[in-house]
Structure 1
Amino acid sequence: MHQTPKPPGRDRVAVVGRAGALRAALTRAACARGGGERGSYTLEAVLCLTVLVPILGILAAFGLAGLGDSTAANAAAAAARAASASDDPDTAQARGRQAALKSLGQAQRTCTSSDISIDTSGFPSQPGEAGTVTVRVDCTIPLAKLAVPGLPGSKTLTATRHSAVDRYVARAGEGDGQ
């Protein structure tokens, strides 16, 4: 007696279908007994939190560092502009410091401490001479509040900016005669 072969796909579909139904029945039975999946969500939540919390703390630290860096850079740029528009080195020091403090004051919560250094040694003594003013601002940001293991308690960020002194501004000590 000769039998016609069955297409191979039908048997496999039936077996896979029965396996899926068997798996679903076993899962329902395990859940009905109170076993199987009990406690796995708690374990997953604990594992995820122990990984996510430090990652979020590190992201917050990067955000604080970026904010502190831009605060220091803005204060240094404002101080350099103000100092370079001055008539003499002493006035440049005072105006630059005032501009930096004003800029740092607008971002009060970013820097816990700061240091402002203004170099007017390149300030020209006569009109027509080229000169520059250099300002360095150090901004210390707090990282201890984030409570992330491995991070230091604080980080000091430094920004340095240069500004050309206007060549044609009358300098202090010059007479009105030409």
Structure 2
Amino acid sequence: MNRSKGERGSASIEVAMGVPAIALFLALVILGGRIALAQQAVQAAAANAARTASLARTQADARSQAQHAANRVLANQGVHCTPATITIDTSQFTRPPGTPALVTASITCRLTATDLGLPGPTSFTVTAHQTSSIDTYRGR
């Protein structure tokens, strides 16, 4: 089957138009994966920070150990926040033994995706909150 002379070169044009669309689709899939992995990592970091803080003996130790634990989880997961805001609420450490008390860890992580070359916003923010109970009868 012979093509007419009017269709000559149309395959090249179709490829030239299709490649950017496929590249954009792949970049969006990669961005979605990064967001999902970052959300999981930030949630894990908040859970680890809250649990670590609940095991500490003092408010000061709880804050410093929880900050360290959160940063360690984010680093191990390969999540590089610009910047990471880690807030540890240890205000209930002052409650007397026998009274239920909680520690809350909140992490906000701003990530960039400039390497994907997508148009529009190149950064996104992921936030997670986690609460852990302090042993009710442990001395504080």
Counterpart-to-counterpart distance in 1, 2:100 and 2:89: 15
Tell which has more relative contact order, 1 or 2 (C-alpha 8 A, sep 6+). 2
Counterpart-to-counterpart distance in 2, 1:64 and 1:50: 21
| Deviation per residue, 1:2-53 (Å, 9 max, x gap) | xxxxxxxxxxxxxxxxxxxxxxxxx33x47xxx3542122111112112212
Larger radius of gyration: 1
Kindly report structure 1 stretches of 4+ aligned residues shifted beyond 4 Å: none
Q: Which residue of 1 aligns with 2:47?
A: 77
Q: Which residue of 1 aligns with 2:102?
A: 132
Q: Which residue of 2 aligns with 1:98?
A: 68
TM-score, scaled to structure 2? 0.89
Residue 155 (str. 1) matches residue 124 (str. 2): yes
Q: What are the ranges of 5 or more consecutive residues in structure 2 without an aligned counterpart? A: none
More strand by share: 2
Figure out how many residues of one structure are paired with residues of the other and give that number. 140
Q: What are the ranges of 5 or more consecutive residues in structure 1 without an aligned counterpart? A: 1-26, 172-178
Alignment of 1:1-178 (within 5 A): 27-28=1-2, 30=3, 35=5, 37-150=7-120, 152-171=121-140
TM-score, scaled to structure 1? 0.71
Matched-pair identity in %: 33
Aligned residues: CA RMSD: 1.8
**Letter of the 1:58 counterpart:** L
